Structure 1
């Protein structure tokens, strides 16, 4: 049986837009984490010394716009309710983890913005448009925001890895639809 992917979420599974936003942002966050770790190891004489941070900033702005769209979409197309087999603790923990992930991601973007605009210059996004610098105090702002940015980046990677492990636990141990729903499937699709 061919299942045509719906755009909006249903009570049984996530729709195509939610899945693309979820997996796209997850992939971009891990790519940005790797890029960030790599670019701080570059020496001044490396060809990527100036290009990598510009790429990181541009992707960061696009990623922030994607996250804003994701939050808005989450209110337009409500996610499916948690499976009835989930305990109250599981539901509360999942909700708390989602709030923490969104909050940390927004804090990463804010700290990245403060690092990037500490010298008072706007952020050029792939040369297409600029995001203006609104706050700037070069030395102390960049240093403090840089430390916060690093700790938040590690936090979101660790928390998202736990989020992924929890989804795998639900799939392989609990044998429920938690992971299937974010893959566009549910037991309703297979007739189970």
Structure 2
């Protein structure tokens, strides 16, 4: 198998640490799963047990997503392996901007999820193990606005994540520079 000269670039030799890789793929799985749950219950009649189950799972996995996001951000800011940039110029600017925007949107989505649930005036629980207390009283009139914003941010995250995945495939198959392999196991 032949490789281009850029395949021997430092990006091909370096990998992120195991925790960073696990946080990345767990975040991706949770984002896709949360989005799929929300889209699926939209096809079900209101008040049905299946719809309520999907909503309950969405809330529980959303709380898990919030915990993973906080741990991921703390890891990234403290102990996570920092690799040299794999690209330069516009690719680097686009990559840095996209990552920053994804982090900002995910943080906003977590806040919006809590606000939306509190605006609904209903308790929410983590897989039935414990209830999350209402910390802020939000009038029900703002519920539709917050819910609409939560939905818009979700779609924005999914579209940006899809572009992020396509960029990884572009690097892997067209540029052959090892960028995708950085986020795979170092074994």
Q: TM-score range by the shorter chain?
A: 0.7 to 0.9
Contact kept, 8 Å, 2:60 with 2:125, in 1: the verdict is yes
Match of 1:15 among 14, 17, 30: 17
- CA distance in structure 2 between the aligned counterparts of 1:48 and 1:106, rounded to whole angstroms: 28
Aligned pairs (5 A) from 1:102-181: 102-181=103-182
1:160-189 residue CA offsets vs partner (Å, 9 max, x unmatched): 00001111111111110100110134xxx8
- CA RMSD, 1 decimal: 1.7
Query: Any stretches of 5+ residues in structure 1 without a counterpart?
Result: 1-10
SS in 2 for 1:117: helix
Q: Which stretch shows the higher mean deviation, 25-34 or 71-80?
A: 71-80
Query: Any stretches of 5+ residues in structure 2 without a counterpart?
Result: 1-12
- CA distance in structure 2 between the aligned counterparts of 1:138 and 1:53, rounded to whole angstroms: 21
* Alignment length (residue pairs): 174
- CA distance in structure 2 between the aligned counterparts of 1:161 and 1:25, rounded to whole angstroms: 13
1:62 to partner: Cα distance: 0.7
1:44 to partner: Cα distance: 3.0
**Who is 2:6 aligned against?**
none
Does residue 46 (structure 1) correspond to residue 40 (structure 2)? The answer is no
1:61-92 residue CA offsets vs partner (Å, 9 max, x unmatched): 11110011001111222331112xx2222112
**Who is 2:81 aligned against?**
78
**Who is 1:7 aligned against?**
none
**Who is 2:33 aligned against?**
31
**So what's the TM-score if we normalise by structure 1?**
0.84
- CA distance in structure 2 between the aligned counterparts of 1:25 and 1:141, rounded to whole angstroms: 29
1:121 to partner: Cα distance: 4.0
- CA distance in structure 2 between the aligned counterparts of 1:12 and 1:182, rounded to whole angstroms: 9
Q: Which stretch shows the higher mean deviation, 24-33 or 70-79?
A: 70-79
Relative to its length, the structure with more helix (as a share) is 2
**Who is 1:4 aligned against?**
none
Contact kept, 8 Å, 1:25 with 1:63, in 2: the verdict is yes
**So what's the TM-score if we normalise by structure 2?**
0.86
- CA distance in structure 1 between the aligned counterparts of 2:59 and 2:47, rounded to whole angstroms: 20
